[in-house]
Amino acid sequence: MHRSSAVLADGREIIYYDRATGRAALPPDRRELPPQTAVSRVRYDAPTGDWVVVAGHRQTRVFSPGANDCPLCPSRDGHPTEVPAESYEVVVFENRFSALASAADEPGTSDTGDLLRSARATGRCEVICFCSDHDTTFAELKADHVRLILDAWTDRTRALAAIPGVVQVFCFENRGPEMGVSQPHPHGQIYAYPFVAPRIARMIDRATAHRRDRGTNLFDDLLAAEIADGRRIVRATDEWVAFVPYAAKWPYQVHLYPRRRRLDLTELDEPQSDAFPGIYLDMLQRFERLFDTPTPYVSAWHQAPAADGRDELALHVELFTNRRSSERLKVLGGTEVAMDAFSNDVGPEEAAARLRDLGD
């Protein structure tokens, strides 16, 4: 994997990832762009312990331009985009409308009391373009290209975790307008938060309690229990296991764990990295076959943060769709969004059986 870094017109970083060779020359960004003006803070929600990013400057975002104006395609004559190069394999750049910024323009503390406290929104929001072809999908990529994406995610995890103040790196793909995606070009996002993501914090709490009570790792025990049970396994290989979780919240949901537990992407070894593209593409392709209509999804890398209890976490991907049938979506209502109490209409064993049958 070759890595080449440059700077966009407004000072944002862009990084090209290539398989065969590095880039001798990086074209300049000739656009005139206004300077970045991030004014975000992160605020602590005392009743739940969760942090919330409060960003006042993102309402002007551009939504869904046509393919001719896609800002994620390579630049061509007269059509400059976010990517100055005329071609790329995988490219990452800082989001122009970032809720988090490594160079904050505010002092570090402006607390109004210890219950109402905020902090500088240190971090980054990056866009990762999975390929230069506007009209393809992640599921259609070749395995060696997915390996390059995995290497880029890994590189970004290492680089972002090294930014002072960054606690959690989150690599994910939202796919489809039903999941809030404003750009159809195949891409994902990488967030570097200055706090432990609330969901990861809960996992650390549970895993820490499990260690205290039983002396073992929660995720090791859970993976062993799923394998022993077997009814929700979609596919198991020498290196990775894909299963529908016992208490799935979404109609179709697959969790993908390496058999040998890792804390984050930087800990994957060669056999694990080599085996990942095959099973991950397989799961995405099964998702594509679920319905007559496109399957919106979220694919979310869960990684250990730089915080107490990180050693108990287990790197894994959570892949899920909000589509219940070809015509119907699961819309989150009061029980989900106000109480975090999910109700799932599709039995996890039934979902796993369907996904097993959808192998090619």
Q: Which of residues 198-257 bind its own copies (CB under 8 A)?
A: 198-200, 202-203, 205-207, 210, 218-219, 221-222, 225-226, 228-229, 245-249
Q: Which of 183, 217, 285, 325 binds its own copies (CB under 8 A)?
A: 325
Work out the angle at residue 98's Cα, subtended by the Cα atoms of residues 94 and 101, and round it to the nearest 5 degrees: 80
- Strands across the sheet containing 2-7: 2-7, 13-18, 90-94, 124-129, 187-193, 168-175, 297-302, 316-321, 252-258, 240-243, 233-236
Tell me the DSSP string of 96-162: TT-S--SS-SS-S---SSSSS-EEE---EEEEEE--S-TT--GGGS-HHHHHHHHHHHHHHHHHHHT
255-284 binders of its own copies (CB under 8 A)? none
Measured CA to CA, the distance from residue 2 to residue 17 in angstroms comes to: 6
Site string for its own copies, 24-63 (x = CB under 8 A): -------------------xxxxxxxxxxxxxx-xx---x
C-alpha pair distances (Å), 272 with each of 45, 199, 221: 38, 25, 20
Which CB, 173 or 282, lies closer to its own copies? Answer: 173
Provide, rounded to whole angstroms, the least separation between the CB of residue 7 and its own copies: 25
Chain residues 134-193 in contact with its own copies, contact rule CB under 8 A: 170, 172-174, 179-181, 189, 191, 193
Q: In the complex, what is the shortest distance from the CB of residue 124 to its own copies, in angstroms, rounded to a whole number? A: 13
Name the minimum Å distance from CB 69 to its own copies.
19
CB 313 within 8 A of CB 218: no
Q: Of residues 305-324, which lie at the interface with its own copies (CB under 8 A)?
A: 318, 324
Question: Residue 24 burial (CB < 10 Å; 0-12/13-18/19+)?
Answer: exposed
CB of 209 to its own copies, least distance (A): 8
Single out the segment in contact with its own copies by CB under 8 A; choices: 65-73, 78-86, 151-159, 297-305.
297-305
Q: Which is nearer to its own copies, 44 or 291 (CB)?
A: 44
Site for its own copies in 330-359 (CB under 8 A): 331-335, 337-348, 350
Give 28 or 108: the residue with its C-beta nearer to its own copies. 108
Contact 319, 240 (CB under 8 A): no
- Of 6 and 304, nearer to its own copies (C-beta) is 304
Among 33, 62, 67, 116, the residue binding its own copies under the rule CB under 8 A is: 116
Among 75-83, 112-120, 155-163, 275-283, which window interacts with its own copies (CB under 8 A)?
A: 112-120
Task: Judge contact between 251 and 299, C-beta under 8 A.
Answer: no
Tell me the number of residues near its own copies by CB under 8 A.
Answer: 81
Candidates 141, 159, 169, 300: give the one binding its own copies (CB under 8 A): 300
Whether 57 is a known active-site residue: answer no
Output 84 or 245, the one with its CB closest to its own copies.
245
CA 21/CA 40 separation, integer angstroms: 38
User: DSSP string spanning 277-318?
Assistant: HHHHHHHHHHHHTS-SS---EEEEEE---SSTTGGG---EEE
Residue among 185, 187, 255, 316 flagged as catalytic: 187
Between 103 and 115, whose beta carbon lies closer to its own copies? 115
Q: How many CA atoms lie within 13 A of 263 on its CB side?
A: 14
Which C-beta is closer to its own copies: that of 41 or that of 286?
Answer: 41
Smallest gap from Cβ 102 to its own copies, in A, equals 16
Among 47, 124, 128, 58, CA closest to 92: 128
The CB-of-299 to its own copies minimum distance in angstroms stands at 8
Active site residue ranges: 187
